[in-house]
Structure 1
Amino acid sequence: MLTGLDIQGDTPLHRLSGRAKLILLFVAAIALFLQDSPWLLAGGAIVAAGLYGSTGIHPREAFRRVRFVLFTVLLVALANYLFHSLADALSVLFRLTALVLLAAAVTATTTISAFMDEITRLLRPLERFGFVRAADVSLAVGLVLRFTPEILARYGDIRDAHRARGLRVRPLGILLPLIILTLKDADTVAMAIDARGFRRQ
């Protein structure tokens, strides 16, 4: 089984604390949404791509991780071009691409446990007022990060199984068994969490 989305390394991003990376990502997101110039946003996307590449991840793996999200970004940009203007479409394209690449760089250089620790600390003040249970939220985020590569790998296995049997690869034919297997895994994980008393409710 895959261990997560983070990769081993000793780059500046790896050495930066998880809290600092999340804060910088938040600041970068605000800065990108306050900017409307397509050219400046394109520069931001180039910088984000450079940071993502500096994590030491293989280019093929780097693209595989973000291709589905980037395809969605492309569709959003196309819709803006059809209903607004080319400048708006380019702004949306470069802005969202930069955000996706920056988030991917943070995810690739931060362990799941570090994410969970920071989320727990962030939500602890809200827990005092009874709004959330910080440990439960951090556990949910950790599980999403942990099983995302597993789901992607299973998608590839189902697709390869279809091809090996000479069947036409159709999205619906892949998604249905993928959803069923994922729900079965979710039930298994939930029972394991309850059996170990990780949740308080």
Structure 2
Amino acid sequence: MRPTTVLLGGFRAGTSRWHRLGVGWKYLAVLVLTLPALIVQQPWLTGAAVLATVLCLLGTRLPARTTLSLSWGLVALLAVLALFQVLIGQPSLAVVVSGNVLLAVLAARLIIVTTRAAELIDALVAAAGRVPFVDGERFGLSVGIMLRSIPYLLGSFYDVRDAARARGLERHWVARLTPVVVRAVGFAQATGDALAARGLGERDDR
């Protein structure tokens, strides 16, 4: 499984209650799971919230590899965050900081694996449309581009890393970063051209 899939997850069809639940209720559930731990900043609450989120993910009846797998990059990040807090003499914050990051990832995955991307974007567009001075359609377009861009850019990074490793250049940062930058620029230009061809993303000043 690609690291991008492990980190971000993806929709998986199912018949669980989480799959049948409305998108708005799913967003509310994620807020209930995450906000108290993020606000209170206590190890016991963070641990309880992570446990509750794991139980919710198990309730989706999807394979644990889909719902609970963590990429090595994320594990390394959590370890670094925890180690830093321990080194500065705040072991309780080691649990809170790394635990809250893990909580956010798992809670987001709860929505992503049980809801189609189109439904997620439509819900965000509908919510944004109720906010004064916010163009819901443009907001939805921005979210859609972001959701499409992140996996592409992360995938480019891993593809280039594997190619560099095959050529014995895994320690050569220029050889690894330059192709990623070129791909990112090309992707941005292609996306901009596609939007312009459809008359999107342009202001109407008339």
> Fold conserved (TM > 0.5)?
yes
Which residue does the alignment assign to 2:178?
A: 176
Equivalent residue runs for 1:116-195 within 5 Å:
116-126=121-131, 129-130=132-133, 132-170=134-172, 173-195=175-197
Which residue does the alignment assign to 2:113?
A: 108
Structure with higher RCO (Cα < 8 A, 6+ apart): 1
- The structure 2 residue matched to 1:86, chosen from 69, 80, 91, is 91
Q: Cα 1:33–1:145, aligned 2, differ >3 Å: closer, same or farther?
A: same
**What's the % identity of the aligned pairs?**
24
Which residue does the alignment assign to 1:59?
A: 65
Displacement of 1:122: 1.3
Note if contact 1:41-1:94 (Cα within 8 Å) is conserved in structure 2.
yes
Whole-Å separation in 2 of the counterparts to 1:183 and 1:103: 28
SS in 2 for 1:98: helix
Q: Cα 1:147–1:45, aligned 2, differ >3 Å: closer, same or farther?
A: same
- Residue correspondences, number: 195
Moved over 6 A (4+): none
Equivalent AA in structure 2 for residue 153 of structure 1: G
Which residue does the alignment assign to 1:18?
A: 23
Deviations 1:55-113 (A, max 9, x none): 4256278535x553454343333333233411122122222211221112212222221
Note if contact 2:169-2:175 (Cα within 8 Å) is conserved in structure 1.
no
- Structure 1 portions without partners, runs of 5+: none
Displacement of 1:167: 2.3
Whole-Å separation in 2 of the counterparts to 1:147 and 1:38: 34
Whole-Å separation in 2 of the counterparts to 1:49 and 1:172: 40
Structural RMSD (CA): 2.8
